[in-house]
Chains A and B, each alone.
Chain A
């Protein structure tokens, strides 16, 4: 990755999109001070984060890595309390402020009633909400999330993204997340950053970034951009890989092609 310049707008949701291995996660880890750029700097309110103490950075920027795993037997309350780490010194005892931050994090993520349960016993959506609660207890103005919706079904994906949108709306938190699903990014992001091969290909509001040309440049696929009937934003419908022809849909077979149902092994393409 080189010659990359990015400004993250304050108090908005920024989504980083792009194909696998394009450097999305690397960029996010650099923003979180996990990686040090060989040249250049990441600035936080005008100060280079690699010059700041780690705990100082952790009081301003929270990070939720992809698919985190909690130690077995850890309760929700204990996990969320660990988000207070950057605010505590070696022999500080648990303060009222710590307690208040944890309570608020549990409340806004609707996980207060799960507090005594073990993290590894929760459903995928609940678990991701609990991890977000831990990041919230850190009380950082900026929240970085690496693919917060991977391995979740569509209902849980919606649950997590709605929660993040709500946090951004009600608390003006700056959210930066890596997302795989372009439609989710277009729906929830105010600012989209499209990357390919370590470079930013396009940047701007969803309507300007999610275009047939950008999608072809990013993923090498032909697509059509419709208007999302729910939000009025762009909605991507892939057509085919660039240069190949689309496979017909597996809708109800026409009488001419009708075959016994048992023959149809592959419901995706409709071919046996």
Chain B
């Protein structure tokens, strides 16, 4: 047991102590501004790099002084959509992860554990197999519906019984539904080569060839999900102290859990519909951010949103560079970047228990 109350702390003048305490929120605010700077830099990089590298000036002129050149067309028609979608998807996945980890108090909680990715993937694979859908922009609504149905099923299974949807029951039913859907996906893909050829890039998670118009249709769901998450900051703070304490503090725990699942369905459903199943961001980003800014959700949520977007865009840019002139799907890159990162967090013992 560590006694950290050193006697000399009593002699610290109260003013000095208050100043030290006031500095920390100031530092966090400054850090938030700096993080926005990082985000802007990442967006610029995403507009510049690819099979045809461009200068920053060209990337900016594509918007300020569009001249119809190939370079400008590449920026506006190819790189802008994937950057905008990457921003939304990265932020949505990270915020969904923070919300789920707070409410379930489970450090492994992330949207994919509630079956969202498996549900979306199954719906898309089934649509391609049965209905012969060809265009990826038509996948969007199947993916969204699949994610939604899978999470509702997971929540209903977990809600059965006396205690309602407890964290452990949510995780278990999520694992069961995911396993079931994954085996059905495998069954279809093994039997139907045409479907496999068509969906394998989508299944890896990718920002290529996504349609900004289709994304604009999903974006409202994503924004509503972000708004619900943002309004529940104090509820997350209270819930992370445990069910009994939250209830003792006057929290309506069932309502908060249900609202959180709704927010996660909107966020993760929109994300998987836009970019396909992307793992690791919902898990790794909340942990990394928590290790730096601490467990207060008022800070966790905005930081996670920014770095979720940054991680996804960086992964996408790297995917364009490492295999030039070809590309590696962003879903593969997030796992390649995210896994060592998570291992590092575990080894440095900065992975917080919840």
Contacts and interface: CB of A to CB of B under 8 A. Distances in A.
B22 to A, nearest CB: 11
A227 interface: no
A180 B244 CA distance: 20
B17 interface: yes
A88 B234 contact: yes
Interface stretch (B4-12, B208-216, B259-267, B304-312): B4-12
A71 B354 contact: yes
A195 to B, nearest CB: 20
Contacts of A116: 17, 20-21
A121 B2 contact: yes
Interface string A7-32: 00000000000000000000001001
Interface in A65-104: 65, 68-75, 77-79, 82-83, 85-86, 88, 90
A32 to B, nearest CB: 6
A70 B241 contact: yes
Contacts of A63: 244-245, 247-248
Contacts of B244: 29, 34, 63, 65, 68
Interface stretch (B59-67, B273-281, B290-298, B339-347): B290-298
A82 B237 contact: yes
Interface residues of A, number: 45
Given A90-B231, A116-B17, A54 B247 contact: yes
B10 A113 contact: yes
Interface residues of B, number: 33
Interface stretch (B48-56, B168-176, B187-195, B249-257): B249-257
Interface stretch (A122-130, A184-192, A235-243): A122-130
Nearest to B9: A113
Nearest to B237: A82
Contacts of B234: 85, 88
Which of A61, A72, A117, A138 has the largest number of chain B CB atoms within 10 A? A72
A147 B278 CA distance: 45
A58 interface: yes
A62 B246 CA distance: 11
B290 A68 contact: no
Contacts, number: 101
Contacts of B291: 73
Contacts of A83: 249
Interface string B3-31: 11100011000000100110000000000
B269 to A, nearest CB: 25
Interface of A: 29, 32-34, 53-59, 61-65, 68-75, 77-79, 82-83, 85-86, 88, 90, 113-117, 121-124, 126, 138, 144
Interface of B: 1-5, 9-10, 17, 20-21, 231, 234, 237-238, 240-242, 244-245, 247-252, 290-291, 294-296, 352-354
21 contacts: A34-B247, A54-B247, A54-B250, A57-B250, A63-B245, A68-B244, A70-B241, A71-B241, A72-B354, A73-B294, A73-B352, A74-B294, A78-B295, A79-B241, A82-B238, A85-B237, A85-B238, A85-B251, A90-B231, A115-B21, A121-B2
Given A57-B250, A78-B296, A88-B234, 14 more contacts: A34-B247, A54-B247, A63-B244, A68-B241, A73-B290, A73-B294, A75-B294, A85-B237, A85-B238, A90-B231, A115-B21, A116-B21, A126-B3, A126-B5
